[in-house]
Amino acid sequence: MSKIYLVGLGVKAGIQITLEAIQAIKRADKVYTIHSSDEFKQDIKKKYNDHLIDCASFFEGEKERADVFRKIAKTIIKEATENENIKIAFAVMGNPLFLVSACEYLIAAEEDYGISLEVISGVSTFDTVLSDLKIDVGYGASMYDATLFLSNNVVPVTNIPLLLFQIATTNNTILNKGDIPTSILQPLIEKLIVHYGAAHEVVFVTSSIHIFMTPKKIKIKLKDVLDSKEISLFDRPTLYVPPLKELYKVEGNYRITSLD
């Protein structure tokens, strides 16, 4: 039976890759990867597996994001079904089971195509954003893909932290090339203002993606977001909306806010 490893590479290129991920990559006959760092991809090829296929070529000539990810998943499935006992790794930034639709397609195909699939966790931006914000969301939180948050008329629970991912692709299914204007956030900001008020302060967080980068946090009132020159959606920030007031006290298990 062929085997597919969905491998998380971590967020900080090259220094958050786990020993488990390295082992899976080394063991694979072929490694497909989507990653923005050419240097890191070259490193993987040189150090761990020479049979590396950069999925950047799958984006060429395509318009819809979903088409690219379906194409990648179909290629991997085809390869896995046409070759007996082949081991294929699909290595992606962060955690493979955090907003990587090609991985979702592959998991959906697992049973239908009789392939064995294993997921190798990686440090996700979900982890790094929490570290950058220095918050523990274990006591209760909500998180959404920004487009889903809008389209499904989700009513936020305003007394727990809210994390909104994929804000740079809000209401957009087309592949982004180049700059993304902050104005695309208008429906999202309008909705947040209804629930939190215009003066509520939110944080745009961009975690460090390589060793020389420091995390970027832009604290800004909701009413000022659309006019901000500081926010760069090109950097793929995640939006943190702090709770209006905290509802955390549970006897014997409460959030610590001071040493006293």
Ligand X SMILES: C[S@@+](CC[C@H](N)C(=O)[O-])C[C@H]1O[C@@H](n2cnc3c(N)ncnc32)[C@H](O)[C@@H]1O
Instruction: Catalog residues that contact ligand X under the rule CB under 6 A.
Output: 92-95, 98-100, 124-125, 129, 165-166, 168, 205-207, 209, 236-238
Under 8 Å between Cβ of 207 and 133: no
Residue number closest to ligand X, CB atom: 94
Q: Count CA atoms closer than 13 A to 177's CA, side-chain side.
A: 6
- φ/ψ of residue 146, rounded to 5: -60, -40
Q: Count CA atoms closer than 13 A to 67's CA, side-chain side.
A: 10
E strand map for 30-86: 30-34, 52-54
Taking the least distance from each CB to ligand X, the nearer of 80 and 233 is 233
Q: What is the DSSP string of 156-197?
A: --TTS-EEEE-GGGTT--BPP-S---GGGGHHHHHHHHHHH-
The C-alpha atoms of residue 220 and residue 41 are separated, in whole angstroms, by 35
- Would you tell me how many other CB atoms lie within 10 Å of the CB of residue 226? 15
Taking the least distance from each CB to ligand X, the nearer of 52 and 180 is 180
- φ/ψ of residue 12, rounded to 5: -80, 110
Q: Least Å distance between CB 78 and ligand X?
A: 24
Query: Radius of gyration (Cα) for the chain, nearest Å?
Result: 20
Q: Least Å distance between CB 216 and ligand X?
A: 8
Q: Least Å distance between CB 18 and ligand X?
A: 13
Taking the least distance from each CB to ligand X, the nearer of 115 and 146 is 146
The first and second tokens of residue 246, run together, are: 């905290």
The C-alpha atoms of residue 7 and residue 208 are separated, in whole angstroms, by 20
Taking the least distance from each CB to ligand X, the nearer of 2 and 31 is 31
The C-alpha atoms of residue 210 and residue 14 are separated, in whole angstroms, by 8
Taking the least distance from each CB to ligand X, the nearer of 2 and 162 is 162
Taking the least distance from each CB to ligand X, the nearer of 124 and 158 is 124
Taking the least distance from each CB to ligand X, the nearer of 143 and 193 is 143
* SS3 state at 223: helix
Q: Least Å distance between CB 79 and ligand X?
A: 22
- What secondary structure letter does DSSP report for 251? T
